[in-house]
Amino acid sequence: MQISDRQPPRRAPAPGLAYRLGKRAFDVVAAGGVLLLASPFLLLAAALVKLSSPGPVFYRAPRAGRHGVRFHMLKFRTMRVGGDAIDRRVTEAVDPRITRVGAWLRKSKLDELPQLWNVLRGEMSIVGPRPEDWDIVQNHFTAAHHRMLETRPGIACSAETRWYPDLTWHDPPPPGVPIQQHYVARHMPAQVAEGIRYADRQSFALDVQILLQTAYCVLVRSWWPQRPCPLTAADMQIDPPRKP
């Protein structure tokens, strides 16, 4: 069922003009500056991807952007070519499709640097809800879930910092349950609920908080053992829309 066939979602209160203009200006300056400064690392990552396995350097992931518009999110390719079948869009904790170089890129988050180009194009923001797979949105989003799509998806998001390194590690599927089935039933609702909380509460202070938490996760929590934190029913509960 397509998005247009469903009831329109209740809109969250729109952020102020100063916030929208300031955030877009920050996105452009930050994305352009980081791309320039990180260009040596980008070239190194591109060379490693190309030399380690046959196929393109970049993976163009179909995602649902602001207002449900489809776009292709750029990432360094971390899987073998042909590993992105529609029923296997979600990766497992130990996934044989991921290359050795791809595993290192994922752990260091370098695979996500090309998304800065999506930020410059206005398809993404530095901070925002987690961008969801296009086909999963088409097949599994409800009208309530669409509230998350009222703002641009982000590279850094509260769902990533809350359940770092990822939800599969914190909440693995039971034996015999396919990872994508488990994702749609539990992980997707939790991440959408977290994205809606961001869309309803977005502010400069919240964006700075998420950026600091992201830096802490990459620099500290990547190397610091932690306990798994399985999901609860409350994590998947969508908050009622806030009044303007």
pLDDT truncated to tens, each residue of the chain (244 aa)? 334 444 444 555 678 899 999 999 999 999 999 999 999 999 999 999 999 999 999 999 999 999 999 999 999 999 988 877 767 778 876 788 899 998 989 888 889 999 999 999 999 999 999 999 999 999 999 999 999 999 999 999 999 999 998 899 999 999 999 999 999 999 999 999 999 999 999 999 999 999 999 999 988 888 887 889 889 999 999 988 776 5
Per DSSP, the three-state class of 158 is helix
| The two three-digit tokens of residue 220, written as one number | 């500290």
Q: Is position 48 within any domain?
A: yes
Q: Would residue 33 count as lying in a domain?
A: yes
The confidence score (pLDDT) of residue 58 equals: 96
pLDDT of amino acid 12: 54
Here the tokens at position 72 are 């292709």
Between CA 58 and CA 69 the distance in angstroms is 21
CA distance linking residue 127 with residue 58, whole number of Å? 22
User: Does residue 243 belong to any structural domain of this protein?
Assistant: no
pLDDT value for 222: 82
- For residue 204, the model assigns a pLDDT of 96
pLDDT at 243: 63
Q: What is the pLDDT of residue 225?
A: 75
Token pair for 146: 């669409």
pLDDT at position 88: 75
Q: Domain total for the chain?
A: 1
Q: Tell me, what's the pLDDT at 3?
A: 40
The answer to whether residue 192 is domain-embedded is yes
Residue 244 lies in a domain: no
- Is residue 101 within 8 A of residue 52, CB to CB? The reply is yes
Angle, helices 204-216 vs 17-37, to 10°: value is 30
The verdict on residue 131 lying in a domain is: yes
Q: Is residue 88 part of a domain?
A: yes
- 196, 241 Cβ separation under 8 angstroms: no
Mind listing the pLDDT tens digit for each residue in 88-139? Answer: 778 876 788 899 998 989 888 889 999 999 999 999 999 999 999 999 999 9
Residue 241 lies in a domain: no
Give the count of alpha carbons within 13 A of 3, CB side only: 20
Answering whether pTM is above 0.75, one says yes
Rounded CA-CA distance 123/63 in Å is 10
**Residue 171: which domain range?**
3-236
pLDDT of 1 reads 37
User: CA-to-CA distance for 123 and 181, rounded, in angstroms?
Assistant: 28
In the beta sheet, which residues pair with residue 62?
72
